[in-house]
Amino acid sequence: MLPLGSSTVHASSARSPGVRLGRPRPSVRALAALLLPLPLLVAACASTRARHAPEFDRLATWMTGTFSSAKQHAAREKDYFDIRLVMVPIWTERDDGPWLYVEQAVAAQAEKPYRQRVYHLVALPDGTYRSDVYTLPGDPLARAGAWRTLPILGDLSPEKLEPRAGCSITLRATDAHTFLGSTHERDCPSERQGAVYATSEVAITEYGLTSWDRGFDAEGRHVWGAEKGPYCFDKVAEDPPQ
């Protein structure tokens, strides 16, 4: 579940970042198959059951760490970049749900992330979860590698962030091993490469995550993002790089 926005990777717009999940670990093809029928999978799980704190904690834990699409890039380098994704907890003293600082960068330029966001995870009454997306004030690059300075983003607070209205991702646990989620229809605006809205579909497990971010024009034509399926990120470390 990667943040949506106007930032770009300097290469073909047909490729845009996603991840590896499962128990046992699935192949890239299996991950893509998991995401493609997302509306059907969510519908099949529509009956709501009570969610408990351990499930919410599990989601936050699985989203935390360092992730890499290196394996997917090696197998299909014409379709996918080698991307590093880092998500670290911030403001842990707050009691309104987990907050995460997020950086996404081409592996060869890890010190210059092309996307920096803050996520806020919220448990909803119907047993689903929402990941709200925020942008940073000022020049985000000035905060690259923010986890190296403690407290992380200690000079900021939620009130200083800019919410990405319409770009929240709603997540549901489909079983004990997987969370699936997406943005809602055309609610997330985008002005990148002629798009008017963007969508994001994600799957999260303890082993990694997949993310498929795409932009569409007013006629619903795909204008940016990966064309052949989601980016597949393996979790390579529980902690951020040093």
Q: What pLDDT is stored for residue 6 in this prediction?
A: 41
Alpha helices (H) in the chain, listed in sequence order: 28-35, 38-44, 53-63, 70-75
Angle at 110 between CA 76 and CA 135, to 5 degrees: 105
Q: What pLDDT is stored for residue 144 in this prediction?
A: 97
Instruction: Please give the span between the terminal C-alpha atoms of the chain, in angstroms, as a whole number.
Output: 23
Taking the CA atoms of the chain, what radius of gyration do you get in angstroms?
17
Distance CA 68, CA 53 (A): 28
Q: What is the pLDDT of residues 116-161, one digit of tens each?
A: 999 999 999 999 999 999 999 999 999 999 999 999 999 999 999 9
Distance CA 180, CA 174 (A): 7
Tell me the pLDDT band of 19, cut-offs 50, 70 and 90.
very low
Please count the other Cβ atoms lying within 10 Å of the Cβ belonging to residue 205. 22
Q: What is the pLDDT of residues 69-103, one digit of tens each?
A: 999 999 999 999 999 999 999 999 999 999 999 99
Tell me the pLDDT band of 236, cut-offs 50, 70 and 90.
very high
Does the structure show a pLDDT above 60 at 112? Answer: yes
Matching residue, tokens 């690259």: 144
Q: What pLDDT is stored for residue 16 in this prediction?
A: 47
Q: What pLDDT is stored for residue 11 in this prediction?
A: 38
Pairing of strands 188-189, 197-205: antiparallel
Our CA dihedral for 29, 30, 33, 39, rounded to 10 degrees, sits at: -150
Write down the domain spans for the chain.
28-235
CATH topology assigned to domain 28-235: Lipocalin (2.40.128)
Among 38-47, 122-131, 150-159, 162-171, the minimum mean pLDDT is found in 38-47
Tell me the pLDDT band of 7, cut-offs 50, 70 and 90.
very low
Q: What pLDDT is stored for residue 25 in this prediction?
A: 54
Distance CA 27, CA 151 (A): 37
Which residue type does 20 have?
A: R
Tell me the pLDDT band of 53, cut-offs 50, 70 and 90.
confident
Please count the other Cβ atoms lying within 10 Å of the Cβ belonging to residue 48. 12
